[in-house]
Structure 1
Amino acid sequence: MKEYQTITEISGPLVFAEVDEDIGYDEMVEIETPGGDTRRGQVLESSEGLVAIQVFEGTSGIDMESSVRFLGETMKMPVTEDLLGRVLDGSGNPIDGGPDIVPEERRDIVGEAINPYAREYPEEFIQTGVSGIDGMNTLVRGQKLPIFSGSGLPHNDLALQIARQATVPEEAEGEGDDDDEESEFAVIFGAMGITQEEANEFMADFERTGALERSVVFMNLADDPAVERTVTPRLALTTAEYLAFEHGYHTLVILTDMTNYCEALREIGAAREEVPGRRGYPGYMYTDLAQIYERAGRIKGVEGSITQIPILTMPGDDDTHPIPDLTGYITEGQIVMDRDLNSQGLKPPVNVLPSLSRLMDDGIGEGFTRADHADVSDQMYAAYAEGEDLRDLVNIVGREALSERDNKFLDFADRFEAEFVDQGFQTDRSIDETLDIGWELLSMLPRTELNRVDEELIDEHYHEDVGEEVAAD
């Protein structure tokens, strides 16, 4: 352990100190103030004779007389299966009044990249119970699928709903096996920069539903140091990796809000006087985000898995902003929450048209879900998109100017939002229920319009009585 009393500058969350020997990058630091307080920090930059240290608990009270101790190791997370059911702060310290953590081992929070050759291709269906996701933008085990939201939208409610309801069917549904079982996820919930009110809502929901028993919660609040937000997602992912790859858990990692994380990166970059990139964010933000997102996945021969749902609020609802833009490049799609749908009272307000799950085709259909899943999804996409286009035309020429066929597509779009998308935050739908609702809606359209569905599936699932009722109306 090396100790110095050579602080030369304090800038925002950073402390600069002179040293006379090599100091490792990311090495942990303890700073003792003249008043006897001890702060934790991490080496952010190391050059000959000078180091930059980011201080997790803030630099208030630190002055040039403070002592700096270099601990000779990087930051580690104490991990154990007993973490399930615990609530920790953004630095990994228990805040639930429970006993101290007795770790089975301590792991470097940077983690180890999964060897691409050792990766198992994600293709097992995850049932979230949310029709807009399961039916139209299916989540697959080992995938990273972010939620793109905006300020004031109920993304936290959707995150809690998924955390409560997400299950991994062990065998394909609809295959005639009554003994099919479902396994629940262990949920790793990492909150960054949230308000105390939001934190209370999260905890109340976790405790009310019993989800806390299979969860590990990391809480970094808005009034906590911004620098702490840079380690919170890494602590969460280190815990997830341990539970998944050492104990065989299917882990679902929910990170909210990644926008607050990126703002912390920008604050640190400004304190270091770095040359800024787009809109003032660091030029290395793409690499930094990739280090987080790419820790999702599966490993060949290992039972467990890590599935990520990062949540970000797009500043100004702008999907070209650097945070959603870079996130979209790295991840495998996005779930988009829509302000107009939210104003109409839809819960959850998921807009399925700009949403996308790039791995959906590999996780649905015969062998994973019902054999008609892909066809139903494709046909509903096409019908809803046509209905949306016709809404724009109605604003110009009026509904009376449209043909009977066009009016059916308009009615389909209205009922699709009201019955398929809008289900509330407490409703848990199985994939069979979701697809049955889809067939009920598609039966509003003439059989001749179902040009994306196999004829045998139409014969099996099409509701002639619905089509006749619509024609009579």
Structure 2
Amino acid sequence: MKLEYIGLKQISGPLVIIEGIQGASFEEMVEITVDNSEKRIGRIIELYGDIAVVQVFEGTSNISLTNTKTRLLGHSLEIPLSKEILGRIFDGVGRPIDGMGEIFPEVKWDVNGKPINPVSREYPRNYIQTGISSIDGLTTLIRGQKLPIFSGNGLPHDALAVQIVRQAQLAQQEDAEFAVVFAAMGVKHDVADYFKRSFEESGVLQKVVMFLNLANDPVVERIITPRCALTVAEYLAFQHNMHILVILTDMTSYCEALREISSSKGEIPSRKGFPGYLYSDLASLYERAGMLKDRKGSITQIPILTMPNDDITHPVPDLTGYITEGQIVLDRSLHQRGVYPPVIVLPSLSRLMKDGIGEGFTREDHPAIANQLFASYAHVQEVRALASVIGEDELSEIDKKYIEFGKAFEREFISQNKEENRSMDNTLDLGWRLLGILPKEELDRVDVKILDKYYRPYSSTRSEL
């Protein structure tokens, strides 16, 4: 017989404190009955002897110290899993919200996942093609990598996320199954509707599993949403040998929810009020990406986060940068000039890119052209700084060529239509065409053989692409 605990000792925000608990476990789920009718679920997050602190997922409105009965469920939060979850839409804790009924599970897995033994990991190889030149050409997404997007309020990271979901595909392995797990945290209703409508209209919803935690949903649910998404990804990747791309937006909302709950618990704050364990908490999510030696599937992560006041040193992007393998940075000045996607190339990088491009993966010239585009565009910034002092008319002829290259690079390579899906060959050919603006002797990052094979003087038409 299971015991029911009548009443509460204390209520604090989304937390309730129960006294006299026996045999409880950390992370154990509880069922709270309010006024003998409404049932809510919660999770034990702290234990002090016979006192338990419980997060209530549906919030603590209408709960008093005397109108509740609490029952321990004997297990941590689990999500039902089967392959029929593809094409389905769930709320932040994994309950279906698409009107298509409940999931009939093959298994139920703990949303906290199981740590991957580092010895069992396979080194990430090969790439996922997004159809976006600034990503595919210069910060290539490698299968099994975690590559965040650093954005800002008002920048088009939502549109970029939708475009990646719509266009992402495996390269040179058409027989392998590919799917996307998309988790949105703390989004407004219109943004959630935009995501659903975009995926439905483009016909990709059948290969997407969506988790939507809305801005007016209880803040506690936001902590669970990415864990549910990653559990689904692990199930599809390691049980069904699928290649899964996980997109998590917006991780800043997740961290702010963590800060709010930490404050409710009375914990000592760290930088900007975030808890001192923010790094290890983020690592527990990001490190669930990767590949295993004895499985064919893979999990690739693209966490999207907005930087408050565009501050890249803010704790959320700062700690994320330590854990992940690079970053893609969106720039407000490029956005104001009408460039989409406004990816600023120089601070963006993919640390695993070198191991998944080149001959046998993309094309033999890819590493060389990526290095040359970075180097040439970096020189463009130096020339622009000089031009701001002495004026563009006083620049040398070669510096004027760099100014021309910089404008063409931003207009044609970085910028592209939201519906435009460029192949890897198109991206690399476009890069070579723009490098043709510069004299051949300026391209000092490219081997002579590759330079002779691919270099052509610049043409203003793009018919050859």
The question of a shared fold, defined as TM-score above 0.5 by the shorter chain, is answered with: yes
Given that 1:26 and 1:44 are in contact with CA atoms closer than 8 Å, whether structure 2 keeps it comes out as: yes
Q: Cα deviations across residues 176-227 of structure 1 (Å, max 9, x unaligned)?
A: xxxxx47563110111000000001000100011111001100100000010
Match of 2:116 in 1: 114
The residue that corresponds to 2:18 in the other structure is 17
1:58 aligns with 2:51: no
- TM normalised by structure 2 equals 0.97
Write out aligned runs for 1:44-443 (5 A). Answer: 44-65=45-66, 66-170=68-172, 181=174, 183=176, 185-443=178-436
CA distance in 1, matches of 2:176, 2:385: 44
CA distance in 2, matches of 1:184, 1:373: 26
CA deviation after TM superposition for structure 1 residue 101, in Å: 0.7
Is residue 5 of structure 2 the alignment partner of residue 4 of structure 1? yes
CA distance in 1, matches of 2:101, 2:266: 42
**2:21 and 2:269 mapped to 1: Cα distance?**
30
Distance 2:444 2:382 in 1: 19
Q: What's the offset of the Cα at 1:121?
A: 0.2
Q: Could you list the runs of 5+ residues in structure 1 that have no partner in the other structure?
A: 172-180
Measure the CA separation in 1 of the matches of 2:284 and 2:294.
23
1:113-154, CA deviations, whole angstroms, 9 ceiling, x for partnerless residues?
111111010011111100000000000000000000000100
Q: Which whole-Å CA distance do the structure 1 matches of 2:113 and 2:11 have between them?
A: 30
Give the superposition deviation at 1:100: 1.3
Contact between 1:5 and 1:64, CA under 8 Å: does it hold in 2? no
What is the CA–CA distance in structure 2 between the aligned matches of 1:436 and 1:196, rounded to whole Å? 41
- Letter of the 2:54 partner, please give it: I
> Is the Cα contact below 8 Å between 2:250 and 2:303 reproduced in 1?
yes
Maintained 8 Å contact 2:437/2:458: no
Assess if the C-alpha contact under 8 Å between 1:2 and 1:71 holds in 2: no
Cα distance in 1 for residues equivalent to 2:434 and 2:176: 31
Q: Deviations over 1:420-450 (max 9, x none)?
A: 0001211100110000000001111111101
Task: Give SS of 2:346's match.
Answer: strand
Query: Structure 2: which amino acid aligns with 1:43?
Result: I
Unaligned runs of at least 5 residues, structure 2: none
8 Å Cα contact 2:433-2:458 kept in structure 1: no
- How far 1:235 sits from its partner (Å)? 0.4
Q: Which residue of 2 aligns with 1:176?
A: none
Residues in 2 aligned to 1:447 and 1:92: alpha-carbon distance in whole angstroms: 56
What's 1:43 paired with? 44
Task: Give how far 1:401 is off.
Answer: 1.4
**1: CA distance, partners of 2:27 / 2:418:** 41
Counting aligned pairs with the same residue, the percent is: 54
* Aligned structure 1 segments of 4 or more residues deviating by more than 6 angstroms: none
Deviation at 1:454? 0.9
User: What is the alpha-carbon distance in structure 2 between the residues aligned to residue 3 and residue 254 of structure 1?
Assistant: 40
Deviates more, 1:130-139 or 1:392-401: 392-401
Counterpart Cα distance in 2 of 1:111 and 1:452: 44
2-structure distance, mates of 1:194, 1:338: 22
CA distance in structure 1 between the aligned counterparts of 2:203 and 2:177, rounded to whole angstroms: 12
Alpha-carbon distance between aligned partners in 2 of 1:404 and 1:370, rounded to the nearest angstrom: 33
What secondary structure sits across from 1:456 in the alignment?
helix
Report the secondary structure of 1:451's partner residue: coil
How many Å separate the matches in 2 of 1:6 and 1:51? 13
Residue 402 of structure 1 and its aligned partner are, at CA, apart by 0.9
C-alpha contact (below 8 Å) 1:167/1:182 kept by paired residues: no
Aligned partners of 1:90 and 1:232 also within 8 Å: yes
Checking the alignment, whether the CA contact within 8 Å between 2:180 and 2:244 is kept in structure 1 is: yes
Give 1:367 shift. Answer: 1.0
1: CA distance, partners of 2:59 / 2:7? 19
Query: How much has 1:352 moved relative to structure 2?
Result: 1.1
Tell me if structure 1 keeps the 8 A contact 2:44–2:53. yes
Q: Give yes or no for contact 1:170–1:183 (8 Å, CA) kept in 2.
A: no
Deviations 1:296-334 (A, max 9, x none): 000013111100000000011000000000000000000
Q: Deviations over 1:271-319 (max 9, x none)?
A: 0010001110000010100000000000013111100000000011000
Tell me the CA shift for residue 62 of structure 1.
1.0
Q: Contact 2:376–2:402 (CA<8 Å) still a contact in 1?
A: yes
Normalised to the residue count of structure 1, the TM-score between the two structures is 0.95
Q: Which amino acid aligns with 1:416?
A: F
Measured after TM superposition, the shift of residue 463 of structure 1 is 0.9
For the residue of structure 2 that corresponds to 1:103, the secondary structure is: coil
